[in-house]
A and B are shown apart, each in its own frame.
Chain A
Amino acid sequence: MRFVDEFRDAELGRAVAGEILAAVDPRRHYKLMEVCGGHTHAIYKYGIDDLLPDDVELVHGPGCPVCVIPMGRVDDGIAIAHEPGVIFTCFGDMLRVPGSNGTLLDAKAQGADVRMVYSPLDALRIAREQPHREVVFFAIGFETTAPSTALTLKRAQAEGIGNFSVVCNHVTIVPPLRALLESPDLRLDGFIGPGHVSTVVGARPFEFIPRQYGRPVVISGFEPLDVLQSVLMLLRQLGEGRCEVENQYARVVPFDGNVRALEIMGEVFALRPHFEWRGLGFISQSGLRLSDAYAAFDAELRFATPGVRVADPKACQCGEVLKGVIKPWECKVFGTACTPERPIGTCMVSSEGACAAYYNFGRFARSKEAV
């Protein structure tokens, strides 16, 4: 993994940290949002927070795909998982997301056949191998994972695999960002743009952020040096009074994205008129369903689901955390009623979730120094 090591060089990291310090206006406090959960994870995993000056604050955004799934959708998934003959598949960190009555892991303990997969293709393979079972894939994620679901569905259709279906919870990144920017209680100076999503959609869709909302965007990779360099690029834009979309992750992200992936997505998916986001409420045109051409694979049409909207628990402030209005530790139930062992809100479930990441990795940085 030589390719990766080059982006984890501690000496280079200190050098960039020094440049960041030099780029900071001492009279200012900077709030920068990293949109993507992958960045949140990297920031904690490598202790990047530790290398930044006090007045550069990173705010964790809504880009953790697990964290934004509302309880009602989890309940629907659990109901399908309990159907006789169903093998219910999903990504690992979805298993512990609480619905209104337990998690998929609990459903498994009660007898449902719930299996963790790494890719929708694994779910399709199970369907191929077990033609007498109904295999359902609970699809989540932004434009990052949507193409792999789309490809899997194309393959399922080509092979005529009738016992495979998908609960589509795919979402798109731009509508929630717009919703955040419209939010009156939000105060952000700039955005670290989502690298993986951008490999698919490109940099162009983010141009509305500088144009309409006057905030700079730097699309960033996921190695610690990438994140540090992106912070530096944002600070330089702010210092020089520039405001544009820059691409720090040019080694992977083409400006126009992956045209082929976008085509396949356009073929397999269609926009839902609105979709509920955990903590953010309903956002117009933010969710994807299967297109009419693929309706035969739509698990929501194949199985009866409760389809009930479940309000987020009252004490849970995931929405405000996702909007960057409060820090994880400022939530009323953080670390007491809501812990990684017994999460109330989704932000506490995935290691990409702002609360879980802070609970697992970040507490120390703000508690006591090692002696």
Chain B
Amino acid sequence: MTSRAGSRTAGTGPVTAAGGSELAQAGGRSRDDRESRILSIIETARAKRAKFRDERITMAHGAGGKATQSLIEGLLVPALAADGGALATLADAGAVAEDLALTTDAYVVRPLRFPGGSIGELAVNGTVNDLAVAGARPLALSLSLILEEGLPADELRAEVEAIARAAAAAGVEVVTGDTKVVERGHADGMYVTTAGVGRRDPRARLSPQSLRPGDRVLVSGSIGEHGTAIMLARGEFELDADVASDTRSLWPAVDALLDAAGPALRCLRDATRGGVASVLNELARASGVAVTVREGDVPVRPVVAGAAEILGIDPMYVANEGVLVAFVAPEAADAALAALQATAGGEQAAAIGEVRSEPPGMVLVETAFGGRRIMDQLVGDPLPRIC
């Protein structure tokens, strides 16, 4: 059986229990039209730039979903880049001067150490990756530490060593820094902020507005591991599973992609907070295209899928710290995928979907079961369902 197209009449007419089908058919047409009209009004409203109307900041504003978007587009950008400028493009790294890119990121994570990494490694790799996916070779980092009174010196030492190791592995140097101490109870042990400077690679022609119908969507590895590892490390779920954070520098993957696909590489994003789903939504909106994802082709390790199932969370929305999403013109897609699979940590890289023209701004999933649905942006943190 083939799946049906959009025009449906199910769920419409006033039908009696005995099955008054003539009534159903009479009512069907006009109701169906009304439904499409209502849906198009909603789509128009959603395409508008988000307004920021909240009275207070809630945790949802930090979760990377719609609330975060409304904060950025409704408050930050209008104030800081009213006349356009680098910030208004909302890229992972902003352009400065001719060939430099600048990015910054703040790191807050509880617990500080978790299977596969720690806040120190995140602080290096996260910033390095923001540069990498902007097509810039990472050069140097700044490092600001906000330390909580009472933090054991050994923990600080361990994190600084982790920072040094990760920086060496990523080939960047920490060139400046700052340290502040705040009173007990204020900083979850430590907060870290890093800024990074990179040199824009001449091979890169990346833009979030450049997606075209037919482009292929690749992910550089199996997804959902970092977020799952953190959730389990918090020990709130009495659930043990062998999951480790995937934190790593993505520059080798980007370098390989640029070599293999060059200008056919349309756009790259690291799928951190909000997961792959948020990246796809953001870019579908930015380019005014649709993205379809074949759920069955998305690489998810069984242990991550199992944990997500139990917690009632979709791995597509779970954070990664070493996975990028690449949009590639169709003719270069095979070469790009092969290049990703040849990099360390990229063995699970896969083509998961493609760009279409309709409906613009939306991400659609072809479920492994054969149905279809929308994969929307999250509102705030993924809240688990109760049963």
Stretch at the interface among B138-146, B172-180, B246-254, B358-366: B358-366
Q: Is A292 an interface residue (CB 8 A)?
A: no
> In the complex, A147 Cα to B269 Cα: how many Å?
45
Asked if B386 contacts A366 (CB within 8 A), the reply is no
Closest B residue to A351 using CB positions? B385
Q: Is B10 an interface residue (CB 8 A)?
A: yes
Q: Which of B10, B24, B67, B365 contacts A341 (CB 8 A)?
A: B67
Asked if A29 contacts B364 (CB within 8 A), the reply is no
Q: Is B41 an interface residue (CB 8 A)?
A: yes
Size of interface on B: residues with Cβ below 8 Å to A: 71
Stretch at the interface among A14-22, A153-161, A255-263: A14-22
Asked if A91 contacts B384 (CB within 8 A), the reply is yes
Q: Is B330 an interface residue (CB 8 A)?
A: no
Size of interface on A: residues with Cβ below 8 Å to B: 84
Residues of B within 8 A of A52 (CB): 10
Asked if A371 contacts B358 (CB within 8 A), the reply is yes
Residues of B within 8 A of A303 (CB): none
Stretch at the interface among B58-66, B92-100, B152-160, B344-352: B58-66
Q: Which of B66, B362, B371 contacts A46 (CB 8 A)?
A: B371
Residues of A within 8 A of B19 (CB): 25, 27-30, 189
Asked if B42 contacts A108 (CB within 8 A), the reply is no
Residues of A within 8 A of B373 (CB): 44-47, 360-362, 364-365
> In the complex, A91 Cα to B311 Cα: how many Å?
11
Q: Which of B35, B45, B237, B365 contacts A366 (CB 8 A)?
A: B35
Whole-angstrom distance from the CB of A155 to the nearest CB of chain B?
A: 15
Q: Which of A18, A50, A188, A189 contacts B4 (CB 8 A)?
A: A50
Q: Is B82 an interface residue (CB 8 A)?
A: no
**Interface Cβ pair total, 8 Å cutoff:** 214
> In the complex, A260 Cα to B52 Cα: how many Å?
51
Q: Which of A1, A10, A108 contacts B368 (CB 8 A)?
A: A10
Residues of B within 8 A of A50 (CB): 3-4, 370-372
> In the complex, A37 Cα to B386 Cα: how many Å?
10
Hey, what's the 0/1 contact readout for B12-30 against A, CB within 8 Å counting as 1? 0111110111001000000
Known: A13-B370, A141-B386, A352-B385. A366 touches B8 (CB 8 A): yes
Closest A residue to B378 using CB positions? A340
Q: Which of B39, B66, B376 contacts A329 (CB 8 A)?
A: B39
Asked if B367 contacts A1 (CB within 8 A), the reply is no
Q: Which of A18, A54, A187 contacts B17 (CB 8 A)?
A: A187
Asked if A366 contacts B374 (CB within 8 A), the reply is no
Asked if A18 contacts B1 (CB within 8 A), the reply is yes
> In the complex, A144 Cα to B41 Cα: how many Å?
38
Stretch at the interface among A79-87, A92-100, A265-273, A306-314: A92-100
> In the complex, A188 Cα to B373 Cα: how many Å?
25
Residues of B within 8 A of A57 (CB): 10-11
Residues of B within 8 A of A45 (CB): 367, 373
Stretch at the interface among B116-124, B183-191, B192-200, B301-309: B301-309
Residues of B within 8 A of A6 (CB): none
Asked if B370 contacts A51 (CB within 8 A), the reply is yes
Asked if B384 contacts A118 (CB within 8 A), the reply is yes
Known: A38-B387, A93-B383. A366 touches B370 (CB 8 A): no
Asked if A47 contacts B367 (CB within 8 A), the reply is yes
Residues of A within 8 A of B302 (CB): 1
Asked if B384 contacts A370 (CB within 8 A), the reply is no
Q: Is A56 an interface residue (CB 8 A)?
A: yes
Q: What are the nearest 3 A-B pairs in CB distance?
A: A47-B371, A92-B383, A335-B42
* A-B contact sample (8 more), CB < 8 A, given A122-B236, A370-B356: A17-B1, A57-B11, A92-B383, A105-B380, A117-B236, A363-B42, A366-B35, A369-B358
Residue numbers of B with Cβ under 8 A of A are 1, 3-6, 8-11, 13-17, 19-21, 24, 32, 35-36, 38-43, 45, 56-60, 66-67, 70, 213, 236-237, 290, 292, 296, 302, 305-306, 309, 311, 356-359, 362, 364-374, 376, 379-380, 383-387
Ordered by A's residue number, 15 sampled pairs between the chains whose C-beta atoms are within 8 Å are A1-B309, A29-B19, A46-B371, A50-B3, A50-B371, A59-B11, A65-B387, A96-B383, A187-B14, A327-B11, A341-B66, A360-B376, A362-B373, A364-B364, A364-B373
